[in-house]
Amino acid sequence: MGLNRVAPAGRPLSTLKAPSSSSKRHYLARLLLCFSLGWPLPPLHAQEAPPPQTGIGKEIFTLIESKQHPDLVQTGFASRAEDMQTLYKAANYEPVWLNRNDAEVLIAETLDLLSNAASEGLNPQHYDAGKLKEMLPAALQLPPVAARKRAMFDTAVSLSLLRYLHDLHYGRVSPQGINFNLKLREKKLIDLPALILAARDRGRIAPLPAEVEPKLDQYRKLKQALTHYRELAARVAPLKLDVARSVHIGDKHPQLEELRRFLVQTGEIQAGADKVQTPASPVYDKELSEGVRHFQAHHGLTADGVLGRGTAAALGVPLSERVTQIELALERLRWLPEIGGGPYILVNIPAFQMWVYDDISKNEPSPLSMRVVVGQAMKTQTPVLMAEMRFIDFMPYWNVPYSITKNEIVPKLIANPAYLHSENLEIVAAFSDQAKPVPLNVDSLLMLKQGLLKIRQRPGKKNPLGKVKFMFPNKDDVYLHDTPSKSLFNRSTRDFSHGCVRIEKPQELAEFALRNQPEWTKENIQLAMQAPKMQRVMLKRSIPILFFYTTSFAEQNGEVAFYRDIYGHDTVLLEALKNSSDLSDQLLFVSQGTASPAHSNGRRLSEPAGSVGI
């Protein structure tokens, strides 16, 4: 998933006027008073122009101040009022559109843009394009004396365009509101009013979406896929297969010609290969098996070419639902703050997959990818988060969660005190590098049950964290780690952990993370992964990491992979998108004195993480 760097689009609009001579005299008088009394010097503020008192300017000003637009379906616009005010201040509260000779062309182009919002995965109905198109002919004929009607139409066009561009850049839903712990933006890097006025002055509105949409290569590929899958959904009939038992090469099934037709129409089998078999004796041949294998490979299934119940169910998912999955993926990509260049680690939770990038800003293949195991769907879900990998622990301890200590380990210790030694466990007062083992006795058992003492597992073969864990401080106390349970990576569905992410290739990831630290050669990493004691290595340069959740993902070749919604996040997002309210900027940016949620735990980097999930 690469991106292109994006230059700040549009400069902030300046609306202040030079101070008058009388205001300068007033300032000098205040200056002398401050000198005589020892007060701090007052700043020289520019005087704001008074609001217009007559004509269309008054009507525009009054409407914006009211934060209500009765001509639009979503009448309230408190969250877009600041941008509306900035836009019309820059236009001296004159119409942005209707006073121009090219008004009809520009407005028509704007409304066509809003009508085509579906190409970006947005709903055109949110932007009143149809209603405004109906109003346009009459609005163009309004005389100058019809100030209120002209003001109403002009601001309606502007507000609808602002809403569309804001949704396209930031998304329609606050990710934090649905428990996606992504970083808030530090500041605005895009000036929507300035972009609108610049586009208007150039006489071209159509290029605006390209200036505000995410510059991620993943976004571009998914947009192309959205068009393709919409076309498929319109012309390809749904496939409903009745598969009682798995179908292998050489087996017969009465619906194989339906299957072949569907695979040809969706591109899983090349069109030229569509040959007719004898209807009375259809056989599942190698060609069908290869088509099914290709389908399985990008639908989160084991790519074995066997037509089983799971594959039949995935084939039966309406293509309109695949369209929805792509639309939701585009929405989630809008939530990401601007990502710079350099190394990056991406985990897509429902894909059970991780990609490592040398430079996320370049459209280059990932040099390292691997299967992962994520949190259990019904119990211990892996969170969505953004963080910075800071250090690596070779041969780590496993800090046992209190719930497991109380409910599982303490009863076993009461029944068999030797369990502590056999499982390589130790009792400690705290999870720290300096902690000393506490003897097992009646008092320590009671304190374990009360949570006053803790249990951890020493490094070794039985340790569920394996030989290495990768740490990125976060409020959910999750991390990447090795695992002794290698067989789980062979399953197509891999939600078995307690929230942390188990990785298939821990040594390769350690080599990547330490590649700029010459002392950490491949041999030294291997030695550290066999050592009897834990060793912590601080990274000289932290590596950004993203735990993301999207059920459709464009691969390097542009082909889209689809995954099951294992945590039900698609359902939650679809429900949130039903809310037609504008997204407030207060939910998008870090407020002064408030840390981004991705960095809110405040743990010192020198401290061992109290993380317990596996």
Catalytic residues: 481, 500
Displacement of CA 23 from its chain's centroid (Å): 50
Helix or strand run (H / E) with residue 536: strand 535-548
Contact 451, 402 (CB under 8 A): yes
Contact 355, 277 (CB under 8 A): no
Helix or strand run (H / E) with residue 392: strand 384-394
Outline where 423-505 has alpha helix (H).
Answer: 442-450
Radius of gyration of the chain (CA): 30
Q: Is 75 exposed, middle or buried (0-12, 13-18, 19+ CB in 10 A)?
A: exposed
In SS3 terms, 368-379 reads as EEEEEEEECCCC
Which three-class secondary structure state does DSSP give residue 521? Answer: coil
Those residues with Cβ within 8 angstroms of residue 361's Cβ, 6 or more apart along the chain or in another chain: 2, 3, 4, 5, 339, 340, 341, 342
How would you classify the pairing of strands 368-375 and 495-497? parallel
Determine the straight-line distance between the first and last CA of the chain, rounded to whole angstroms: 27
How would you classify the pairing of strands 495-497 and 552-554? unpaired
Helix or strand run (H / E) with residue 168: helix 147-170
